[in-house]
Structure 1
Amino acid sequence: MITDPELDGAWETGRAGERAEAAEELAPPGCTEGVAGARRPWLWALGGAVAASVLWAGGLYAFGEKLAAPGISYRATENLCEDFRAQALGRIAGDLHRYRPMNQQNDHPAVRGAICSLQNGESVSTLTVRAQMDLHKKTDPEAEFEVPSRWRAEQVGAGVPESVQGLGERAVVIVMPGGTVQLQVLDGGAVFTLEASGSSVTGNAPGDTAALKAAMVQDARELMSALRK
């Protein structure tokens, strides 16, 4: 461990008389303050070292708080498609669980991820929905929340996030120029993402898009309730 020399007791090895004599020898000729004056700069240096150490320790503590593991409020899902019922979206575009739901899992030491892909048709569908849950086990995801994904960042004019009140700690919804609607929710160490795309989205009037966003918010809330510990 690196320590401050000024605060390390190992540096204080000489006797008091020897330190006073050394200070007298180092004092410049004609000095009227004597030994006390010669020692005064060292006292200022000691005080500065103490202050610097306190500030450094405080900064390290704050940094550690940011890196601390989040308080996790949700359980890991074994099959997201079973937990994500999408009933509100189903009332808009029909039963989304009818045509082969696709479930994916990824248990990484830092983040446990799960994805469920749904559609309302076999070969041709008018609405495709993807739900994703990322359970962060090591660090709090708040610092990176709302950072654009590579997929969204590559789009031209990817849309402006709109805040959603009353959902999780923070929630935003984005309407892409290509018609995809994305909802992201941060809560209890987890990030929930819902995306909806297809002709049911691009062909809708603005009022219908508002209904789609409301349905996504409702389905996200029900998913969070199903997975809450």
Structure 2
Amino acid sequence: MIGEPELDAAWETDHTTRPAEEIAPREREAGAAGARRPWLWALGGAVIASAVWAGGLYAFGDRLSAPELSYRATENLCQDFEARALSRIAGDLHRYRPMNQQNDHPAVRGAICVLQSGETVSNLSVRTQVDLHRRTDPEAEFDVPSLWLAAEIGVGRTEAVQGLGERAVLIVAPGDAALQLRVLDGGAVFTIETYGTGSSPNTPTDTAALQAAMVEDGRALLAALKK
């Protein structure tokens, strides 16, 4: 399992939502009963990826052309990401204290929202991320696979999604354990990930329905942040 990195000091946590230190990390099943909390590792990995990405682009930004940004920065992604379609499947995802974080870097303005379908036992967790690239166009790196995601859930299959942003792909983990929707539109990259615990009888098992809900909620998020 990927270790838990410390959050970059530049990330700001919404104090009205759940503090990061209260969230238990995901543990692999090793004969132990109980629900897993499958999303802190994803949040940590995303923070590291964003920090490395931002630092690298900041160093070379003056040598590259700045991308066009047609989306506004979000002050609270959990408010802008309503997740209505996913909530129809898993129940109200905003009921249990969403966790919101953001980072305002000269190279990348980032925001993350983590939602779950239960307080202590969650059958579905959703992580949404928006990265607004200010200095370089992210298109060249859009197809680069995520090493930390592959290390945790394995290399899955990739499917193109039509009619969403300039380009959109859906990555399905082996056994449909996790889904990742990535959307590229200008200098903006949107990511929506869903994780089922596998330990609850109410865990959504209809992968096609989850995919459709993620695309619907992703389209709604793009519309909400469009300038």
Bin the TM-score by the shorter chain. 0.5 to 0.7
Q: Identify the residue that residue 211 of structure 1 maps to in structure 2.
A: 209
The aligned residue for residue 222 of structure 1 is 220
Structure 1 segments (4+ residues) deviating >4 Å: 200-205
Paired residue for 1:182, among 176, 180, 186?
Answer: 180
Among 116, 119, 124, the alignment partner of 2:116 is: 119
How much has 1:95 moved relative to structure 2?
Answer: 0.1
Percent identity of paired positions between Structure 1 and Structure 2: 69
Paired residues, number = 163
Residue 88 of structure 1 deviates from its aligned partner by 0.2
Task: Name the SS for the 2:174 alignment partner.
Answer: coil
2:223 counterpart SS class = helix
Structure 2 residue aligned with 1:84: 81
Matches of 1:90 and 1:158 in 2, distance apart?
27
Corresponding position: 1:171 with 2:133? no
Structure with greater helix share of residues = 1
Q: Does 1:93 pair with 2:81?
A: no
Q: Tell me the residue number matched to 2:147.
A: 150
Unaligned runs of 5+ in 2: 1-60
CA deviation map 1:98-128 (0-9, x unaligned): 0000000011110010000000100110000
Structure 1 residue 222: deviation in Å?
Answer: 0.2
Give 1 or 2 for the bigger CA radius of gyration. 1
Question: What TM-score comes out, normalization by structure 1 length?
Answer: 0.67
Taking the aligned partners of 2:67 and 2:199, their CA distance within structure 1 comes to 35
RMSD between aligned alpha carbons?
2.1
Query: What SS does the corresponding residue of 1:68 show, helix, strand or coil?
Result: coil
Give the alignment's TM-score, normalised by structure 2: 0.68
1:1-40 alignment, distance < 5 Å: none
Q: Could you say if the C-alpha distance between residues 201 and 68 of structure 1 is closer, same or farther in structure 2, counting changes exceeding 3 Å?
A: farther
Q: Is the 8 A contact 2:115 2:127 kept in 1?
A: yes
